[in-house]
Amino acid sequence: MNISIDNLNKAFESKTRLGIMSVLMVNESVDFSTLKSLLNLTDGNLASHTRALEEMGYIQCEKRFIGRKPNTTFQITQSGSQAFKAHLQALEALIQGTATDNPNMSKK
């Protein structure tokens, strides 16, 4: 039996990007500080991954000032939501496809 991993989206291989997309899938928008805290990331790490996801068109970034403080918020785009759902479906198919009655494989 062959198990295909071709449908997995390389953009979401990183646990950081997987975390960012997961948070944004269930929240309308999330600010930089909250995302950083939730995922326990450094400023630079979060900034580089959000920039990459933004360049791919999966998330959008809005920068503004609240009073005198800068505030950056992120939200998932429609194409980002579709790509992430497809990635999750591919993961589920991979998991389902590995469940087998093959006597050389043991199940939990």
Helices (H), 1-108: 15-25, 32-39, 43-55, 78-98
Q: How far, in Å, CA of 29 to CA of 42, rounded? A: 20
Residues contacting residue 68 through CB under 8 Å, at least 6 positions apart: none
Token couple for 1: 């039996």
Domain boundaries, the chain: 12-94
pTM recorded for the entire structure: 0.84
Contact call for residues 55 and 77 (beta carbons, < 8 A): no
Divide the 108 residues of the chain into consecutive groups of 10 and give the mean pLDDT of each group.
Answer: 76 95 97 97 96 98 91 97 95 80 56
Fold of 12-94: Arc Repressor Mutant, subunit A (1.10.10)
pLDDT of residue 107: 58
